[in-house]
Amino acid sequence: MAPVLIGLMTLAVLLAIALTGPAILRRAAGALVHVPRVATALLLGSVLAWVAAVLALGPLLAWFIAGPAALPGRAGEVCQRCVAAANPFAGPVVDSALPSLALIGPPLLVAAVLAAGGLLRTCRGVRATKTVWSALQGQAHRTELHGHRVHLVPDLAPAVFALPARRGGIIVSTAALELLSDDELRGVLEHERAHLRQRHHLVLAVLAALAGPMRKVPFIAAAIDAIPHYLEIAADNAARRHASTPALAGALLKLGNPALPRTVPAEFAGALHAAGPRRIAHLVNPAPASGSRWTVGVLTAYAGVMAVAGMAVVGPYLGAIAVGC
């Protein structure tokens, strides 16, 4: 009965974090904003661990039953033998008309569908970025500002944003150059360089791959919405090492809501902007972290349980396959 008990316990934890996750993230925000890079890694790892643990439930329960061979002849025997070889639990199994493959197959199919959907969304994002850079490249003038290589584009909208390094890197509009003081421009450029140096576009690509059907899970939806906020705070922290807080806050006020040059398609959402007045409060007066640290511990414990549960199931299967069942 051990696989069934472990499966029920894992399912209970998965349901608990799926439903209570958004509230935990809200309560933990006061502590997480002080360590934004750790917060990003924790949330992204928690999402991946949750998905892996859900997919592991079927293979876990397959150890408990001994159904008919789902595949004919030799193939069916090999399938049943692999399931038996991977089972780390001793004891009797339950005879059932349901084959083990019926529990192993659907998670594999779901994983394949999620991977295919994620790959499709990633390809769309890459194509959109290429389109934007193609639209800007013809009018962009490469120059150096405060030690940063940037592309300056003629535009009346004050915009500073970062595309992936291979697609242009830091983009600055002429309106932003005229609007910002030297100290403010230095802070904004350091902010954008942090996005590139810390590979934030890669993190956003992973989030885009997880979007879609996964957004129906409350915890995953909340994590996907929160991570970009922590990426911006991480870039702010890096910028404050080279520019004063008043200069960076002043730049955010002047830039206002995120803007893009007029030549960029309105539906494009792959850029990381320097704008965003919602971050000014954290820059000037960050919230205390003491009252929310315990929720970070709860979130970390959840992530650890899910990661261990997933690996405890996948590991024996991989080991059985490696030795030839």
Q: Residue 241, Cβ neighbours under 10 Å: how many?
A: 8
b/e burial code for range 250-280 (CB count within 10 A of at least 16 → b)? bbbebbeeebbbeebeeeeebbbbbbbeebb
**Range with the lowest mean pLDDT among 58-67, 143-152, 196-205?**
58-67
d(CA 320, CA 85): 6
| The pLDDT value given to residue 194 | 93
For residue 93, the SS3 value is coil
- pLDDT band of residue 186 (cuts 50, 70, 90) is very high
Strand 160-162 and strand 141-145: pairing? unpaired
- Tens of pLDDT, residue by residue over 102-114, are 778 888 888 888 8
For residue 230, pLDDT beyond 80: yes
For residue 278, pLDDT beyond 80: no
For residues 130 and 151, the answer to whether their CB atoms sit within 8 Å is no
For residue 95, pLDDT beyond 80: no
For residue 269, pLDDT beyond 60: no
Of residues 72 and 241, which shows the higher confidence score? Answer: 241
Tell me the two tokens of residue 187.
Answer: 């802070």
| The pLDDT value given to residue 324 | 67
Domain boundaries, the chain: 2-119+289-322, 143-284
| The pLDDT value given to residue 149 | 92
Question: Distance of CA 2 to CAs 6, 61, 307, 309, Å?
Answer: 6, 10, 19, 13
Residues 44-55 have a mean pLDDT of: 89
d(CA 30, CA 42): 15
Mean predicted lDDT score pLDDT of the chain: 81
For residue 148, pLDDT beyond 80: yes
- DSSP of 259-318, one letter per residue? ---TTS-TT---PEES--GGGHHHHHSPPPSGGGHHHHHHHHHHHHHHHHHHHHHHHHHH
From the number of C-beta atoms within 10 Å of its C-beta (0-12, 13-18, 19+), residue 15 rates as exposed
Q: Specify the residue for token string 């929160």.
A: 226
Residues 209-230 have a mean pLDDT of: 87
Residues 176-194 have a mean pLDDT of: 92
For residue 280, pLDDT beyond 90: no
Q: Residue 197, Cβ neighbours under 10 Å: how many?
A: 12
Strand 148-153 and strand 170-173: pairing? parallel
Q: What is the pTM of this model?
A: 0.83
Of residues 147 and 211, which shows the higher confidence score? Answer: 147
- pLDDT band of residue 67 (cuts 50, 70, 90) is low
For residue 264, pLDDT beyond 70: no
Half-sphere exposure of 212 (CA within 13 A, CB side): 14
When mean pLDDT is compared over 33-42, 55-64, 155-164, 260-269, the highest value belongs to 33-42
| The pLDDT value given to residue 170 | 92
